[in-house]
Each structure stands twice: as structure tokens, then as C-alpha cells.
Structure 1
């Protein structure tokens, strides 16, 4: 008799791990797409591994239902006043983050951080972590609409335009589907690239974006209207990628000195003019590699590089992958090794949770047992 794929997968020896527990703090008017983008990869990780790698709870301050930004009402699993043994805390923000963050939210987040939780946020949830002082000295991402205001309010945070940022035990995503890319990256680090790749395949997610991918942010939203000369310089750079303009010439165009130009870039864009110009050229090169059949030598020339070897060296240093592999869609990097503490035995029994509310991960995994993909990806 033929053996089904799921039966053959579960018949092999699967190494079990202690599940990581996540608490998703839902702020009023949070964006539902960001929450789903963060949770769905965790659900699929459990299904493909055939065991509970992650469990999660949705939380509100008082345990009462909360409205998402689209008006849908979500009933949380618990209130923040219920003691839960969490490994990760993720703040889900959305519309009007500043007015929807309470002192109780801030106190709870600070208490969670003191217990050495991994602290994260999606969409505008980064604002809550910032209010709690938990992003000072860290690199962080937030939706581009909040970028300028948040930089002004919290100057100690190294805000970036990247889709997501992972800095030590802080992880923040800009919003929309960016949390999915972040979670796939974190899952890959915890349990291997094979699992994260299989999850993206299940979601028909053609390319997992990495930490170098940027939000397409109009620079005026980063700087506001206070730096017209800097905006003009950047516009000149963007219009002259194939034949880069010298910095003395750029400075002369907007009637500033070379030293003033360098100070503007360092103060407002946190890099040198040469680094910013290089990033513009490499970002354009990446678009050519992914969206056109142009030979690599022509891509290099079109982006102002004098030789293909120099272009390849700069591209690898910036994106962590050579242009040829980028064109082929392959990746040479692997995730970090699993810690020994994660190799302990696992039980899926709700009784193991003691007095805690039962995570919906348990029910989702039980339903997934009948799927052909159940336990189809062995953990490394």
C-alpha cells in the first residue's frame, strides 16, 4: 500500500524543540494586514515542521475587543494584566499611533523588556517601543509616513528606511507585508533556510525581501520641507547615475561648500555623500538585474561603474550577494545555528500551559495534521 507524504514524513525522526511564545499587543486602529503577515508565517512553520515551534497570543490592555484600522473587530486572547510566559513581544500599530498608546502600554512594555523578552513591532508599533525608551541606541524601521515625525520625537533611535530591521533583540517592520519578510528571516535564523523557503512557497511569495531592501519613501517625507538644498542635491544625484557628478560640482550647483554638503548628509541622512550616491547607484542596479535581461556589464556601465569587477565587489559588500546570484535568484547566506536550549522535548497538550489561555497555535496545528504538507520539512 502506498504511503502518503505526511505519513512518510512523520515516520522519520523529527527533532523536537521548545516552542517560542509570542504576545501580540494590539493597539487601537492597528493594521490587520501587518498582524496577519506576522502570524501566518508562524502558523505555517508549525505545519511544515509537524510540531509547535511557535505559539502566540493576541493581547489588549483590558482584554476587550479592539478595532482594526479597517473597522473589523478583533477579540484578543487575553489582557496584558494576565501573567504570560512570553519569549517575544510584538506591538501592532496602525492609524494614529501616538494617541493610541497609553501609560499602561508603556509600563507593560518596560516590564516585559526587564524580563529579557525579545521586543518587536510592526507598522507604527515602533512608536510604542520608542515611547517606552526601548529603541534608544537601536536601529529601527517604521512605516515611512511616520518616519520624519518619529525621528524628530526620538532622536536617540537610528531610524532607517529599510523594510525591516533586526538589531540584537529588537525587530521592527515597516508595515503591510514587510512583517512577513521579517518573520521569514527570523524563522530562517531559528530553524534554517529550508523551512523559511518552504513557507514562502506555500504562500506563493516569490521573493523574500531581506534587511537591505528599502521602503520606497519620498525623501521629502524623511526630511520634511526644512532642507531644500539637500533635496535638490539628491535629485541631481538621482538624475545622474550613469555619469556621477563630482561632489565639488554638486556643492556649487546649490551654492554650498563641500564641507557644508558633507555635514548635511551626515546630519540628516546619517552617511557620507559618497555612500548615499553609491546606494542610489546600487539600488538602480538591483532593479535592472531583477527586472531586465541587461547583461551585467551593461548594468555596471548604466549605473556609473568603470568596471564589472568593481561593480561586483561593491554590490556584494552592500547586498551580501554577487550580481550574478542576484540575477539567478539564489542566496549564499545561511541562518544562524540553533541553540542547545531549543532542543528540549515538546508537548502540544493544552494542560502544559497551566493557567494560561490556550494559544490558537495549538488548534491550528491540530487542524493541519490532515494536510499533505504536515511535517514535510525536517528541522536542521
Structure 2
């Protein structure tokens, strides 16, 4: 199991990088190993980089790394960590899938950082295992792999599978690994070197708490927004939202206008449209299926709302990446959208 005492020192780890991998997720996993060696005065960990074909591979930020070899050469490692990032749900390299399965048959602990969970699932290596993935990819993953248990944990360790939501969560997963294998004191020393004031465990939340995300601390408003986020597929009526928070409809309206500069109905629609965009970009679901999964009663109504909000139709959303990126930036600042009801 991942986290068990190593069979020998230094512990050999293979990092398998696919194109457009997340640089921060990767470096946040490697650097704790380097500092653990330094702080302990021993070589506890040794790692090598591999790419599917053995050629240089670029991260999503454009920085290119030179691997030691191709995916087949990772088969002799006890720990294999797949690193990916943008568009992992589209990655379909049968050669890589076969190499990962050979690593499994050889008895390796196999894991993934960020969106790499998608690739492990497509290789058939997550069936029967619990996993996690970056929050932005969770809805799409659940639609593509309904048989796999996916959680919103920071990281998951299930026997010889481990998955991490990405970003700085890689740091926490590796600090937990170091603590399990070589003691909390060493892990705390490494964390201190990073000026990382607390080692998070797997149960910590991926996303910022609602008050920090929204810049709002009104408890009743936050309770309504939480209900909205929990009921995107079958939206609740405004009266039900108000009653759940102990408010009248008029009070609810005033709170949303005061703190979020939009009506409750408009805010709810924006939440559902943002979820719809993730499903369009990360799954092969039809437009009508996406519409129904996000609480819209018809494809035509969904398309109109989507075009008004993002400036393009759902069908065109699956087109040019540059325009999609602009739409994402626009979605991140919905208060600037014209025509808020």
C-alpha cells in the first residue's frame, strides 16, 4: 500500500509526465522528496522522469522537461506517479495505458496528480478503487465513470492506488507520505522549509470556504448559496430557498442585491451555466443531456441562456480553445456580465 515502509532505500519513484501536465502539481510532489533527503541527511527518495514516448514533454505553462526514458521503462519502479493537466479527459494513448497496466502487474503502487485520475480510469486501473480529482473536473469525471467512487477529498489513498486533486495538494500528500514512512518530525521539518504552516490531511477541502470565495460572511446568504450548489440538477424554488434560511422572499432578494449585485434567480442560473460549461468541455455528453444535468427543461432554453451568458452557443463551446479561454475568464467574473436580472 502507498505509504507503507519502503522495501529498500532510496525509494525509487517514477514520475510519468503527459503533455500539458500541471507544473505546480508536479513540482509540489517532487520538492518534498528533495527536502526530505536534505533534512534527514540520507537519500530516502530517488526519482526519474518518463514521458509516454521518451521525448521531451511540455507542461501546460510551456516549460519543457527532458525525461530519462519512455513509459515502458517505468515498469521496474515500486511507485509510479502519473502527472497530467489540461485536457486529460481527451488523452487516449493505448501504448501508455498498456505500460501502466504492466506496472500494475509488476506490483507497483500507482497514483495520479491533478487530472491524471482520468487517464488511470481510462486505462481501467481505477475500477473498484476510491479516488479524487481536481474539483473543476469532478462533475465530468463522475459522468464518464459512474461506476467509480470519486470524492472531493484533498487526496485519496486506497490500497495501492493514490490520487491527488492537484495544485498544492501534492505537497500535502507527499508530506503525509514522509510522515508515514519516516516520522512526523521529518515531515514537519520539510513543511517548515516550505513556509507551509500546516500539513493538511486528506479530509481537508479542495476549495476555499464560501466566505473566502465570495467575500461575503452573511450566514443566511451563505446557507442559501450552499443549497443552490447542492441542487444544480433539480433547482429549488425561491420560496423553498427562502424558507430553508428563515427568510421571506423579499429579504432573500435584498440580500442577493446587496452582497452579490444580482437577483437570486440570476445567481442560480449562473451557477448552473458554469457547471454546464465544465460538462461541455470535459465530457462527450450531448447538449440536451448537459442541459438536463444542470436543471434546464429544454435544449433551446439552455442554448439561449448559455449564449446570453458566455456569448456563444453550447455547440460552439466545444470549438476554439482561445474563445473558450475568454469565456472562462468571463465566467470567473460574473458580476461584470451585462444584463444581470
| TM-score above 0.5 | yes
Secondary structure at the aligned position of 1:82 is classed as helix
Per-residue deviation, residues 262-316 of structure 1 (Å, max 9, x unmatched): xxxxxxxxxxxxxxxxxxxxxxxxxxxxxxxxxxxxxxxxxxxxxxxxxxxxxxx
Counterpart CA distance in 2 for 1:147 and 1:235 is 29
Secondary structure at the aligned position of 1:210 is classed as coil
The CA RMSD measured in Å over matched residues stands at: 2.8
| C-alpha displacement of 1:235 | 9.4
User: Which residue in the other structure is 1:155 paired with?
Assistant: 146
Alignment map for 1:1-380 (pairs within 5 Å): 18-82=9-73, 85-216=76-207, 225-229=232-236, 239=245
Secondary structure at the aligned position of 1:81 is classed as helix
Count of residue correspondences: 224
Secondary structure at the aligned position of 1:43 is classed as helix
Q: Which has the larger radius of gyration?
A: 1
| C-alpha displacement of 1:229 | 4.0
C-alpha spacing 1:105/1:233, structure 2 compared with 1 (3 Å): farther
Counterpart CA distance in 2 for 1:198 and 1:142 is 28
| C-alpha displacement of 1:82 | 2.9
Contact 1:65 1:74 in 2 (8 A): yes
C-alpha spacing 1:83/1:44, structure 2 compared with 1 (3 Å): closer
C-alpha spacing 1:161/1:220, structure 2 compared with 1 (3 Å): farther
C-alpha spacing 1:207/1:231, structure 2 compared with 1 (3 Å): farther
- Which structure carries more relative contact order (alpha carbon 8 Å, separation 6+)? 1
Contact 1:27 1:101 in 2 (8 A): no
Counterpart CA distance in 1 for 2:47 and 2:96 is 19
| C-alpha displacement of 1:133 | 1.6
Counterpart CA distance in 2 for 1:213 and 1:229 is 28
Counterpart CA distance in 2 for 1:170 and 1:25 is 15
Contact 2:74 2:80 in 1 (8 A): no
Comparing 56-65 and 99-108, the one that deviates more: 99-108
Secondary structure at the aligned position of 1:119 is classed as strand
Contact 2:10 2:44 in 1 (8 A): yes
Contact 1:113 1:119 in 2 (8 A): yes
Contact 1:162 1:211 in 2 (8 A): yes
| C-alpha displacement of 1:230 | 11
Which ranges of structure 1 fall in alignment gaps of 5 or more residues? 1-15, 241-380
Counterpart CA distance in 2 for 1:68 and 1:153 is 25
Counterpart CA distance in 1 for 2:49 and 2:162 is 18
Secondary structure at the aligned position of 1:162 is classed as coil
Per-residue deviation, residues 328-379 of structure 1 (Å, max 9, x unmatched): xxxxxxxxxxxxxxxxxxxxxxxxxxxxxxxxxxxxxxxxxxxxxxxxxxxx
| C-alpha displacement of 1:83 | 5.8
Contact 1:148 1:221 in 2 (8 A): no
Which ranges of structure 2 fall in alignment gaps of 5 or more residues? 1-6, 211-225, 247-341
Contact 2:75 2:106 in 1 (8 A): no
Contact 2:14 2:74 in 1 (8 A): no
Secondary structure at the aligned position of 1:140 is classed as strand
Counterpart CA distance in 2 for 1:176 and 1:80 is 23
Per-residue deviation, residues 72-131 of structure 1 (Å, max 9, x unmatched): 111112112336520111110100002234111111111111111111110101111111
